[in-house]
Structure 1
Amino acid sequence: MKILVPVKRVVDYNVKIRVKPDGSGVDLANVKMSMNPFDEIAIEEALRLKEAGKATEVVAVSIGAAKSEETLRTALAMGADRAILVEVEGIVEPLSVAKILKGIASEENPDLMILGKQAIDDDANQTGQMLSALLGWSQATFASKVEIGDGSADVTREVDGGLQTISVKLPAIVTTDLRLNEPRYASLPNIMKAKKKPLDKKTPGDYGVDVAPRLEVIKTEEPGGRKAGVKVGSVSELVDKLKNEAGVL
């Protein structure tokens, strides 16, 4: 079984985001970048399935600037067998990403695609669902447990009311939640080996996809600071303020 895992290069989750003075976007100058945390979980799950004998090959895919090769090398150092980089400058919207991934899936014929449920830069949570629709494959989102059977996968999902377990036929799309696993660290020997693993470079044109944005960002601004709290003298005063001032009751 072949598993395809898309990964995205994003601002590291430990970095405090700065907005450009003109409000045109986020300032990325001299900012640490890393693999999207949900995608790390997706890579880890694919590797665990391979180590359990359920998969034979793990292919990492990234769509973005040339520097995304660093992110793919991280995936290779974790244990992925090979990688594909689709070079695109600028922001690529979820629908364009899904269309490119559909083209890659048509070439690679994977049995399973595992994606992070969302990227921490835009929090869109759209690519997996769009890809499922484009391919006509089964989908299981927000997975906290994945078990591969004979031609199917049992996926436990985190929903508002608790946990839900569903069975989907392969090939399928699975998106990962935080509690699925704990990603491994790449060892130094594996980091060195990753430099020699195959990494193919493609363009959106190879898959007939136009990545021109359909959305326009009007303005980006930081959230306002928290206002100072107030003390109340009684429960009735608290209820009054929650009802008439905060509007939460």
Structure 2
Amino acid sequence: IDATAAYTVAFKPNTAFYESEGTDGWESLEKTISYIKKNYPEIMVIADAKRGDIGNTSRRYAKAFFEQLQADALTVAPYMGFDSVQPFLGFDDKWVVLLGLTSNSGSVDFQQLKLENGRFLYEEVVSKATGWAGSHQLMFVTGATKPEMIARIRSLAPDYFFLVPGVGAQGGDLNAVAEAGLNTEVGILVNASRSILYASPAADFAEAAAAEARKLQQQMEDILIREDLL
């Protein structure tokens, strides 16, 4: 955290890697988020938990992540529809990051199914979800490995921010992502995890992570300057 904070606008802990360690893992997640909040209050914390369930259960998930852990944003799965997402939208100062189009190969199984209206399922999800909340409260996950589809999503959600995983270890191309996803307010939050976390297995892991984060930050800065957004 300390090594990369200068080059990031958000940290995104994947909660599964904490939860799998039981109570010790959850305590570690609490300490991690608390540390970021105390030392880097300007940096957003996105809890990558991909929650979503019936209303009563979603309300408890929202309480856990937004009130107890004090995360600023939470990834949410939209498969169960609006009533499963609505409880997360009840916090004016928090963000819901809805799964729009994920970067894994299995996204073809459902997300890329063609509907009778000519749209892909992921397009229908994004289009419908823009009616649930404004761009001040909702953003979408759009996988970096599919830039041509990011462009389709951008046409449906011109004012919304996109959380873009898949740059780095998954091979997503930052320039292609920027071309497809940028809007007049930048509009993309690029996520790289493994390529930074595991930049080195040796004792210099923190320095190596910082160097990798700085490289990605500089690439993004160059793109924003080129596009007159910075």
Does TM, scored on the shorter chain, surpass 0.5?
no
Greater relative CO (CA pairs within 8 A, separation 6+): 1
Q: Which has the higher strand share?
A: 1
| TM-score (ref. length: structure 1) | 0.31
| TM-score (ref. length: structure 2) | 0.32
